[in-house]
Structure 1
C-alpha cells in the first residue's frame, strides 16, 4: 500500500436521489459536468441559470442537475480519473453553483415559514454539500432554515438550539467514521426536546446506523427528508440514555482499539517493513500513504466495533481494494496489514472476528476463480 486510498471517494453522495424520467435534467447535468470538469465556474453558473430561465424546476436543478454532477465527481475520483485537487475544485464549484441557485430563487419565497429547521454536519464532517442541498430544498419549500455548515461541534450546536428552538434538527454525516460523534449529537439534541432526522452516507445505505443511534427519523435523500419533515417528527423519548443503545460496548474493545490507534498504525507499519525490506526504500510520500491506509483500516475496525457490524468493515475493505486496484496497487497488499493487526489485537475477540472476516473478503477478491470442475468420467 503506497498510493493512499483515502476515504473521500466513497462519500460524495449528495443526499439527492434523481427523479426518474427527467431527460431535460440529464441534458443540463451533462452541460454542467463539462463546465465543472474543466474547472470553469462562470460557465457552471451560466448552465444552471440557463436551466432555470428555460423553465426547469428549481428543486430539480439542485438535486437532478447539481446533485447528479456531484455524485459523478465522486465516481470519477474513485475510478482514478480525477485527482484529489480536481475533486476538491469540482466540489467547490458545485457549492458556489448551489449558492447561485439560491440567490436566483430568493425572491420567489413569500408568506410565513412552515417552521424552523437547523441543518448541520456533525463535528469532524467536512462534506457539507449534501447538507447545503437539503437546506436549500427546505428553504424552497417554505421553511426557515438555519444552515450551520460543516464540522459543527456538538456544544455549539446545542447552544444554537437553545437560542432558536427549532422544530427539528437535520444532521448530516457522509463519513461512517463520524458515527460516535453523531451518536453524541443525536442524544444531545434530543435532550433539548428537539427531534433529529439523520441523513448522509455515514448513516448507512438503508439508515441502519441512524436507527441504531436512536435518531427520530432517517431519510435517504434531500427530497425524502423534506417530505418527512413536512409530516412532522415524533418528540424525542424522555430520559433516553445512549449507553442503552449499544450494550456491546461494555467489553471496552472499541475504546481500547481507538485509544491505541496511533500505536497500532506504528506497529503495523514497522511489521510491514520487516516483511518487505523494499519498503525501507520508500519515498516519504509512499511511507505517508502506507501509514494513512493502515490508519483508515484501524479507523473502520473501530467503527465496526462501535456498531457491532461486520459488514461495515468488510465493505470498507472491499471498497479499498477497488480503489487500490484503480491506482495500480495490488489489493493483496491489504492482507499482511490485516495479519499484523490480528497479532496486535490477539486478546480482542470481537476485533479478531472482524479481522478474520475482512481477510476473507480481501482474499476472495484477489484470488483467481477456481477452475471449472472436470465432467464425470466413465
Structure 2
C-alpha cells in the first residue's frame, strides 16, 4: 500500500474527504495545507469534536500503522505527528471551538516517561469543548510536579495518559500519589490495555478507551473521591518476590551479557555492522523493559503480545525474527533463579514458534 493511501474509516462522506485531505497533507509534510484542511472544515460548520476525533485522531492512527508496516520512517512519523499537533492547536484557537467553562476543573497529563502527548492533548481539547476548565500539562510529567500542581489548582480529577506499557509502574505511582491527596484518577491510552484491565489492576478510579469516552464518563457525574489509605503494594502482592525490582535494576547488565552471547547462539549476527548491533542492543533493552513490566503486573500475556509484535515489526523491516528465540533463551539462562521471569520468557519462546506470521520473509 502506498503512503498516499488515506485512512479507510467509517463515517459520512464529508469526514472521509477530510481524512483524505489531511492524510495527503500530513504525508507530504505540509503543515500549512494540514491546518487549512482543519480550519476550512470548521468554517464550513463541521463539529470541532468530530474534526478532532474522526479526522485528526483517525489520521494519526494511520500514521502509526504505516510506521509499523515500515512504509514510513521514524523521522516521517515524528514529522506527521508534529503536523497533527499543529492542526489541533489551530483548531483550539478557532472561534467555533471556544467554550466558556461551565463545569469543574480537570488536569490532563502524560505519565512520567511518556512522550506520546497527542492522545492526552485530544482529551484536553475535547474536555474544553464539553465545558471543562482544563490544565493540560503535556508529556512526561514527574509525579512530584503533578502533585504540586494539584495542591495549587484543587482539580476535581486527573486524566492520565500512557501509550507504552513499560510506563505502567510509573503510572501506578502517579495514580497512588494523586489519590493520596484526595484527587480521583481517570486513565486512558493503549498502555492500559484495550479493555482497561491494567487500569483496574493499578487502582485507577475510572478508565476510558478514548477521548470521547473520557468526556462521556466525566459527564455522567463526579468521579468519587478516593480513600486516602490506599496502599500501592497491597494491590500487587506478587511483587513481594522482588523479581520485578531485580530485573529492572539489572537491565543494563542483562543486555550486555545477552548481546555478547548472542553471536554464538545466532551466528548470522557475526555479519552485523555497528548500526545493526546498536539496533539489536536496543531491541534487547526493550525486551528487558517489557519483561520487567510483565513481572510488575503479574501478566505473562503482556510479554507474549510484545514479543510477537516485535517479531512482526522486524519481519516488516526485512530483519530475521529467528534471532528472538535464542535471545529469550539467553535471558532465561541469566535469570534462572527467577521462576516468574523464566516462565514468562518461555511463554514468549512458545508464542514465537507458534505464530507463523513472524517467520514470513525470513531465510530458511
Matched with 1:158 is 147
Q: What TM-score results when the alignment is normalised by the length of structure 2?
A: 0.93
- Give matches, 1:337-352, under 5 Å: 337-352=327-342
Matched with 1:127 is 116
Q: CA deviation at 1:52?
A: 1.1
Q: Give SS of 1:145's match.
A: strand
Q: In the alignment, is the contact (CA less than 8 A) between 2:56 and 2:84 conserved in 1?
A: yes
Unpaired stretches in structure 2, ≥5 consecutive residues: 1-7, 360-364
- Give matches, 1:218-297, under 5 Å: 218-231=207-220, 232-276=222-266, 279-297=269-287
Q: In the alignment, is the contact (CA less than 8 A) between 1:119 and 1:131 conserved in 2?
A: yes
Matched with 2:199 is 210
1:193 aligned residue (179, 182, 185): 182
Moved more, 330-339 or 98-107: 98-107
Question: What is the distance in 2 between the residues matched to 1:367 and 1:223?
Answer: 34
Matched with 2:164 is 175
Q: In the alignment, is the contact (CA less than 8 A) between 1:176 and 1:202 conserved in 2?
A: yes
1:139/1:311 CA distance change after superposition, 3 Å: same
- Give matches, 1:1-378, under 5 Å: 21-105=11-95, 108-110=98-100, 112-231=101-220, 232-276=222-266, 279-366=269-356
Unpaired stretches in structure 1, ≥5 consecutive residues: 1-17, 370-378
Question: What is the distance in 2 between the residues matched to 1:264 and 1:108?
Answer: 52
Q: CA deviation at 1:83?
A: 0.1
Q: CA deviation at 1:24?
A: 1.8
1:368/1:49 CA distance change after superposition, 3 Å: closer
Q: CA deviation at 1:54?
A: 1.7
Deviations 1:232-281 (A, max 9, x none): 21111230001101000000000000100001000100011233455344
Q: In the alignment, is the contact (CA less than 8 A) between 2:352 and 2:358 conserved in 1?
A: no
Q: In the alignment, is the contact (CA less than 8 A) between 1:269 and 1:291 conserved in 2?
A: yes
Q: CA deviation at 1:203?
A: 0.8
Matched with 1:10 is none
Question: What is the distance in 2 between the residues matched to 1:22 and 1:124?
Answer: 37
1:368/1:25 CA distance change after superposition, 3 Å: closer
Using CA pairs below 8 Å that are at least 6 residues apart, which structure has the higher relative contact order? 1
Q: What TM-score results when the alignment is normalised by the length of structure 1?
A: 0.90
Moved more, 301-310 or 226-235: 226-235
Deviations 1:64-103 (A, max 9, x none): 0000000000000000000000000000000000000000
RMSD of the TM alignment (CA)?
A: 1.7
Q: In the alignment, is the contact (CA less than 8 A) between 1:58 and 1:105 conserved in 2?
A: no
Q: In the alignment, is the contact (CA less than 8 A) between 1:332 and 1:366 conserved in 2?
A: no
Deviations 1:155-176 (A, max 9, x none): 0000000000010000000010
Displaced runs of 4 or more, over 4 A? 366-369
Matched with 1:12 is none
Deviations 1:202-248 (A, max 9, x none): 11111011100000000000000001111221111230001101000
Q: Give SS of 1:151's match.
A: strand
Question: What is the distance in 2 between the residues matched to 1:188 and 1:88?
Answer: 32
